[in-house]
Amino acid sequence: MKRRVAGFALNAFLRASIVAFLVDTLRHPHDPRYEGKAIPIRNLLIVGSLSLTFPLLYLWQRRPGRRLGKRPRWRRYPVASDNLYLSIFWLDMAGNYFDLYDRYKHFDLIPHAHGSGALGAVLLNAFKMQPLAAYGVANGIHGLLEAQEIFTDVFFGTRNVRGAWDSIGDLGAGLIGTSVYIGVSYYIRLDR
């Protein structure tokens, strides 16, 4: 019981922080921390909607006759998986808010490793994917994110990628992060 209360308290903190980071990017779009990265619009559209994934899925699957595919319903809200999922957005937004991406050249390896790894662990635990499938989906989505960063840099003049070696390092960090997170979460299950 205490663990779930702490989980919901962390969930509230993550959500409040994400909203605060979003408000800051919208209020200060020309701040050097955000300038040229398309962060205000990206955070509003992507993070604003994707951060609601777990609450919306939970409410949808609680309706009579609804299931998440052929998997059983979540009997209770998967707060630990939601927290891990939200931490992906929180870390990325905190990195920009605290200017860690520009201040530390290789800081982006941490969010890339954590983001892919956390997503893989969430797919394994909350959605009951097999480890190899979770690994593939998480890294496939990570690859699409990296492609989006390259695409917006080339065609819209943003400054998210520092060259080919940056992308290779980001993808490599994602592969390592996913391996570690899925390996650990295979034995330590979330949302028991």
Average of pLDDT values for 84-91?
Answer: 97
CA distance 170 to 164: 10
Any domain includes 93: yes
Any domain includes 192: no
pTM of the predicted structure, to 2 decimals: 0.92
Q: Which residues contact 86 (CB under 8 A, 6 or more apart)?
A: 11, 14, 15, 18, 51
Any domain includes 164: yes
The range of the structural domain enclosing residue 114 comes to 2-187
What Cα–Cα distance (Å) separates residue 123 from each residue in 11, 119, 164, 178, 183?
18, 6, 29, 11, 13
CA distance 88 to 118: 7
Any domain includes 56: yes
CA distance 107 to 91: 11
In this structure, the number of other CB atoms found within 10 A of the CB of residue 171 comes to 17
- Assess whether pLDDT exceeds 60 at residue 173: yes
Write down the pLDDT at residue 45: 83
Any domain includes 35: yes
The band of 65, judged by pLDDT with boundaries at 50, 70 and 90, is low
Per the DSSP assignment, residues forming a β-bridge with 71 are 68
Q: How many domains does the chain have?
A: 1
Give the residue with greater pLDDT, 124 vs 60: 124
